[in-house]
Every structure is written in C-alpha cells, then in structure tokens.
Amino acid sequence: MSDQVELRRSLSLPLLTLYGLGTIIGAGIYVLVGEVAGVAGNYMPLAFLVAALLVTFTAFAYAELSARYPRSAGAALYVHAAFAHRHVSLLMAFLIICIGVVSSATLARGVVGYLQLFIDVPVWLVISSIVLVLGGIAAWGIRESVGAASVLTLLEIAGLVIILWVAREHFVELPARLDSLLPAFSLSAWQAVLLGSFVAFYAFVGFEDMVNIAEEVRQPRKNLPRAIFISIVVTTLIYLAVAIAASLTVPVAELAASKAPLAAVYTRVTGKEAFFIGLVGVVAVVNGVLVQIIMASRMLYGSARQGWLPAPLGRVNARTRTPLLATAVVTGVIWVMAIWLPLLTLAQVTSFITLFIFTIINLALVVIKRREPVVAGVRVYPIIIPIGGIVFTLALLLFQLYHWLVV
C-alpha cells in the first residue's frame, strides 16, 4: 500500500453516462413513485417535472465546475475554489458524504418491498447482506464496480420500458384525464405539487455524484459535462412517462400504499404477478446503493488528499487501486442508517441536504465566474443560470422547512 498510488483513469463517456443513469434511476423511480403519489396525489407527474426543472439549473453549474476543476472531491473542491475556507470546504464534503450515506440507506431499505414479492425475509438480514456485498464490490476496483453498475443500469431501464409497454394502451386516455393531472389555481393544489416535487427531487439525486470520480474519467473536461446532460435528459423523459403511466393505471391511494409501486402497475395492467419487475426493482435499488458507496468513498478519499481529513482515508490500495479504508467506513455507516430510519424520512433528509448543497454550489459558481469569467478549453454558461439555481433551490428548501415547522 502506498500514498503515491493513483486512481486509474479508465472510464469512457458511455460508461460514465451509464454510471450517471445508474446513480439517478436507481436512486428513485422504483422506490418513490408511491411516496410521491401519497404527497402530491393525482399531480404526481407534474411533481416529477417540477423537480426536473429545478435540477436542470444546478446540472449546468456542475457541468461547468467539473470542467473547470476535473478532480475528485467534487463539490467540496468547488466551494474551496470559490471561498478558500478550509472549514466551509470540509462542511461541504461532510454534507455530500451524508447524502451518499443517507441515499444508500434509503435504497437499501426500499429494496425490501420488492424483495418480499419473492420471499418473506427479515428486514435487517436483507439490508445487511446487500450493504456488505456491495461494499465489497466497490472495494474491488473502479472499472469492475462501474462495469457492474452499468449492466444493472441497463436492466433498470429495461424494466421501465416494460412498464411503459404494458401500459401503452392507457396513454390514449391522457387527453381526457389531463384536467385531473393538472392542478387548479389554488394554494392547496400547488402546495401538494411542491411538497411532492420535494420528495420527487430525491429521484434525481445522483447526477452530481459523477464529478466525484473525475480522476477516473478519460478526457474529463469534455466527457463529464456531456455525461451530466445526457443523464438528466434521459432520466427526465423516462420518469415523466412512467409517472404518467402509473397515474393512468393505478389509483393514487393504491400507489401510495404499495411498497413496490411499479410492480403494482404491472399487476394492475396485465393481471399477472410482477416477478420480473420485482426482480428489476431489486436490481435498481442494489445498483443505486453501489454507486452511492463509490461516490461517498471517493469524497472521503478526495477530502483526505486535500488535507481536510485524516491521511489514511486518502490511501489507495496498490492491488485494487481503490481507497479501501474510505470504502469500509462508508459501508459501515450506511448499514447503521438503513437499519435505523424509515424510507420517507431518509428520502426527505436526502432532498433537504441536497437542496442546501445545490444552493451553495450555484453560489460558488457565481463567485468563480465573477472572478474568472472565461477559462481556456472550458465551456461557460450565462451567470443568470446559477443565479436562477440559487433562487429556485433556496425557495423549495425554505418552503419545505416552513411546512415542517409550521404546517
């Protein structure tokens, strides 16, 4: 083992894009359709669309920042570049690691509903087995773990395509039912949409994780921004189509009550047991946990290499070329969180922390752009985009905080 061993730069644009899709898709749609329906009701598709629009502002910020600073530690590094304050950067690193941990715990708990379609097993046993095995895969090697995640991502997308295929005939009902899916101009209706978008926002969490493996990407200044945008566009189109299909086929109350909502859609439409969809649901959630373990461990590694955390966390194993201690720490904390907290709470906590981070990231880009408007070889975007990101993410953050404290 040596401090001088470097990460292997082996990820191409296709692999990076599949990794990004895996972080996003595996992090939400299979688990949270029912939760969003329970909050937003018939306005669930609109809640997903609002969440996607909010995410887009920050996606531009991450695309530019990842090209300006293509190194591990991601958002913490960007904040350090903007404010040059060690404690602020360390706080950002800590919050991002929290997202990876809480998000993985959310997914590990969410897999139970799909797995119980096949066998009734104790929750603690399911969570423990999944987290420990995936921690081992993440420690194995970046190409191997991202390769495994890419295969699982393709299976996830296949499952969603099957849902859309079996529900295709119901889309002809959309014009007649459009009024029921769009809110009236009333405070209560739009409050439901915004609260639903806060939960749906979690389903888009993950694109920002791509920047944390920048030192393992080929041509990161070019490929990272491209992969971020491709992942966001593809995910938004899939989510919106699946949310509409679910709304047209299954009553909202039934969706909200289901622990495997997409399996409920398949069963309602076909009248058959959703064994394949249940299996893909398990795969999707497992994939989400894997990529979050990779992300959080690389954040620990990058922060240690910057001197913000103890040096052993920044050591790379000479054989696996992965940060073993950082991976082990992340895996252990995920296991504790998954055993401890319920699904909706985990999703809401992740969304809240993520919105706060997105606000700071957009602010950091504004500061950096004012100081250095143009960088050779980097595509820059109008400053109004990160300003819009600050306004909208902060507004949703304050709205949710108000709802928690007052309503």
Inform me whether the pLDDT recorded for 397 exceeds 80. yes
- Say what the pTM is: 0.77
DSSP 8-class letter at 5? P
Q: How many domains does the chain have?
A: 1
Q: Is residue 88 part of a domain?
A: yes
Distance CA 25, CA 284 (A): 7
Please report how many Cα atoms fall inside a 13 Å half-sphere around the Cα of residue 243, on the Cβ side. 32
Neighbours of 88 (CB within 10 A): 16
Q: Is residue 267 part of a domain?
A: yes
Q: Which domain holds residue 100?
A: 13-405
When mean pLDDT is compared over 94-103, 230-239, 390-399, the highest value belongs to 230-239
CA Rg value for the chain: 20
Given a contact cutoff of 8 angstroms between Cβ atoms, the answer to whether 19 and 150 are in contact is yes
Average pLDDT over every residue of 117-126: 75
Q: At what angle do helices 275-305 and 29-40 cross, to 10 degrees?
A: 100
Q: What is the pLDDT of residue 2?
A: 45
Q: Is residue 282 part of a domain?
A: yes
Task: Encode pLDDT of 14-46 as tens digits.
Answer: 888 887 887 777 546 777 788 888 888 889 999
Q: Is residue 293 part of a domain?
A: yes
Q: Is residue 5 part of a domain?
A: no
Distance CA 315, CA 156 (A): 33
Distance CA 146, CA 325 (A): 19
Q: Is residue 7 part of a domain?
A: no
Task: Encode pLDDT of 183-217 as tens digits.
Answer: 878 788 888 888 888 888 878 877 887 887 778 88
Which CATH number does the domain housing residue 362 bear? 1.20.1740.10
Q: Is residue 6 part of a domain?
A: no
Q: Is residue 3 part of a domain?
A: no
Return the ∠ at Cα 130 (arms to 113 and 328), rounded to 5°. 140
